[in-house]
C-alpha cells in the first residue's frame, strides 16, 4: 500500500513537471506555424507583385469584391499564389462566428500598404506594416484589411496570443514578434509604421 502511494505521488510530481512543458511546446509549435503562414502570404504577395507590377489590393487579396464567391477566399486575388487554405488561419484560432461557422482567416493587410503599390515606393519598408495577426474575423469583402487608428497603436482585435506577442510581417517581408508595449510605441512613434509612403500620411491612391 505504501509503495502504491509513493508511486502515485511520483507520477503526480512528474505530471506537474512535464505537462506544463508539453503545453508550452505545443504553443511554441503553433506560434511557429503561424509565423510560417504569414511568411507564405508575404512571399505570395511578392510573387503577385512580380507578375502584376503592384501589390495585391488590400480589398480583394483575400475575398473577391462580389459575386457568388464573395465569402470564399480561394477566389481572392492572392490564393492562386498561396494554394493553401491552412496558410490563411493561425492554428491557435479555434473560434467560430455565426452564421459562417469556424473562423477561416487570421491575418489582415495594412490598408495603407495599397497606397504604396510596390515595395519600391515605401520610404522605410523595414518599418512599415504589411500583414498583422488579427482575431475574430468575419468573412467577406473588405475583412482582410487592417485600418490604422490612434487607439492602442492602431486597429482592433490585434491578437497578441503567442506569448502575449503580436505577429507582424513588414513591407520588406521580415517577421517580428512585438509585445503590446512595443507595438503601441512603434505605431504611435513612427508615422511610417502605418503610412509607408509618407511621414505625415498616405500619398497616392489604391
Residues with Cβ within 8 Å of residue 95, at least 6 apart in sequence: 102, 103, 135, 136
Q: Domain extents for the chain? A: 2-193
What is the pairing mode between strands 145-146 and 107-110? parallel
134 close to 146: Cβ distance less than 8 angstroms: yes
Torsion angle, alpha carbons of 186, 187, 190, 193, to 10:
100
Q: How far apart are CA 107 and CA 185, in angstroms?
A: 21
Question: From first to last of its 206 residues, what are the pLDDT tens digits of the chain?
Answer: 665 555 555 555 545 555 554 556 677 899 999 999 999 999 999 999 999 988 998 888 998 887 777 788 999 999 999 999 999 999 999 888 888 889 999 999 998 887 788 888 888 999 999 999 998 888 887 788 888 864 445 556 899 999 999 999 999 999 999 999 999 899 888 888 988 887 544 444 44
Amino acid at each position: 500500500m505504501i509503495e502504491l502511494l509513493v508511486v502515485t505521488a511520483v507520477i503526480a510530481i512528474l505530471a506537474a513537471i512535464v505537462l506544463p512543458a508539453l503545453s508550452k511546446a505545443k504553443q511554441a509549435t503553433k506560434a511557429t506555424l503561424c509565423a510560417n503562414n504569414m511568411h507564405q502570404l508575404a512571399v505570395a504577395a511578392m510573387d503577385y507583385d512580380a507578375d502584376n507590377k503592384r501589390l495585391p489590393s488590400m480589398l480583394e487579396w483575400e475575398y473577391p469584391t462580389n459575386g457568388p464567391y464573395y465569402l470564399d477566399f480561394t477566389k481572392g486575388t492572392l490564393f492562386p499564389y498561396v494554394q493553401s487554405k491552412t496558410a490563411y488561419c493561425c492554428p491557435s484560432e479555434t473560434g467560430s462566428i455565426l452564421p459562417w461557422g469556424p473562423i477561416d482567416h487570421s491575418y489582415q493587410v495594412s490598408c495603407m500598404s495599397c497606397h504604396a503599390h510596390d515595395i519600391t515606393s515605401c520610404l522605410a519598408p523595414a518599418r512599415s506594416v504589411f500583414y498583422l495577426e488579427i482575431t475574430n474575423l468575419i468573412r467577406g469583402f473588405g475583412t482582410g484589411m487592417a485600418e490604422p487608428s490612434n487607439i492602442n497603436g492602431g486597429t482592433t482585435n490585434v491578437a497578441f496570443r503567442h506569448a502575449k506577442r503580436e505577429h507582424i510581417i513588414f513591407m520588406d517581408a521580415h517577421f517580428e514578434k512585438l509585445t503590446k508595449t512595443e507595438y503601441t510605441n512603434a505605431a504611435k512613434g513612427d508615422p511610417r509604421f502605418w503610412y509607408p509612403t509618407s511621414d505625415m500620411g498616405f500619398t497616392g491612391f489604391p
